[in-house]
Amino acid sequence: MYQDVVELKAFYESPLGRITARLIRRQITDLWPDMAGIDVMGLGYATPYLDVYRNRAQHVANIMPAAQGVMRWPRHNGNLNKHQDRRDHPYHYNGNLTVLAHEGQLPIRDAAIDRILMVHILEHTEKSRALLREVWRCLAPGGRVIVIVPNRVGFWSRNDHTPFGHGKPFSTLQIRQLLNDNMLTPTRNRTALHLPAFSNRSLLSLMSGLERTGQRWWPHLSGTLILEAEKQIYATGSKIKTRKALRRPRLIGTPVDSKNLPQKPAY
């Protein structure tokens, strides 16, 4: 069951949500540092992590599932400083960049997207296979996807006050197997949110200060798993042998054509 988009927005506007977005965004930009001339698409509620690419990538958009709801992004008026933004960043667009769609029918052409970022979607959907097949279809050859899901053994999956405490959590082996089964080869992985989700504001600074320590000493207890995968393309050509039709086996008692029986020699 999806968490409502209004609840997700309220979380990411809170002090805990801002720190959460900053720590996860740090891992995403480490995996995808240079995005000049790249088309980037978010799936789910990925807007808190796409802002960093709006002035770097060629095109940026976010598709939110129908069961989750949709919200305008970016929130500001597109007419403000429009000419200045376009002069400084030729790829920058100030209009609405979100759209509502069914997870199994994405309104994207085949092989049109270079990078896809999936956040708050895979752990909620009941059609993970159809969703990942759509991701494969939309990715360009050599395209990559980053999947962010709750860690099954982490602290955050047991906390209902954060979005990562809802839906189905995964282990690293489970999410890698799911990607492999849908023709997406895992390439690199990261972890984030290595301390519990503190509600006390005085303790929030510990999350940022001890994040690197947690990555080194207890990475298996992280709140989220961040996996990058690449689109698989199977080779075809003349070297691949065509399938040969096998003869149908005959069951006992099946009438046999007398013409195919060996003839007795004539004496």
| Residue 77 pLDDT exceeds 60 | no
Torsion sign over Cα 2, 44, 199, 159: positive
Q: Nearest CA to 49 among 16, 66, 27, 71?
A: 27
Domain boundaries, the chain: 5-234
Report the mean per-residue pLDDT for the chain.
Answer: 85
Task: Please state which of the four CATH numbers 3.30.479.10, 3.40.50.150, 2.40.10.10, 3.30.70.1230 is assigned to the domain occupying 5-234.
Answer: 3.40.50.150
Q: Is the pLDDT of residue 178 over 70?
A: yes
According to the model, what pLDDT value does residue 85 have? 47
Q: Does 250 or 74 have the greater pLDDT score?
A: 74
pLDDT over 70 (residue 13)? yes
Q: Which residue has the higher pLDDT, 45 or 201?
A: 45
Q: Is the pLDDT of residue 86 over 50?
A: no
Average pLDDT over residues 259-266: 55
Amino acid of residue 65: P
Q: Region 178-205: what's the mean pLDDT?
A: 91
Given a cut of 50, whether residue 87 has pLDDT beyond it is no
The DSSP result for the chain, as a single string, is -PPPHHHHHHHHTSHHHHHHHHHHHHHHHHHS---TT-EEEEEES-HHHHGGGTTTSSEEEEEEETTT----SS-S-TTTTHHHHHHH-TT---S--EEEEBTTB-S--TT-EEEEEEESSTTT-S-HHHHHHHHHHHEEEEEEEEEEEEBTTSSGGG-TTSGGGSS--B-HHHHHHHHHHTTEEEEEEEEE--S----SGGGHHHHHHTHHHHHHH-GGG-SEEEEEEEE-----STTSPPPPPPPPPPPTT----GGGSPPPPP-
Say how far apart CA 204 and CA 198 lie, in whole Å. 6
